[in-house]
Amino acid sequence: MSAKRADLSGLPFWPRCLSRDQAAAYVGVSPGKFAEEVGAGIWPAGEPRGGRVLWDRNLLDIAQDKRSGIMASSHAPAEDPWA
């Protein structure tokens, strides 16, 4: 008997570059709270592009990894497991 696969079809597709509302949803806060946390330096500032401001999803992940201690303060893991 094979393990039943989780149905992930209801999860959103997250584009690489996110609007403020998308970025807020991605990190689990309201757009207003997200703007407040960006201003406080918790999340990186967005990048102006074509008259809009967009957030790189990978940079949001890196910021969260640093906050949680998964990643050291640099953009690289504290120790290279492949070295």
Model confidence over 37-53: pLDDT tens digits? Answer: 999 999 999 999 999 99
- Mean pLDDT value of segment 54-79: 83
Among candidates 22, 3, 6, which has minimal Cα distance to 14?
22
Laid out side by side, the sheet with 52-56 consists of: 17-18, 52-56, 47-49
- pTM, two decimals, is 0.73
Q: Residue 39: helix, strand or coil by DSSP?
A: helix
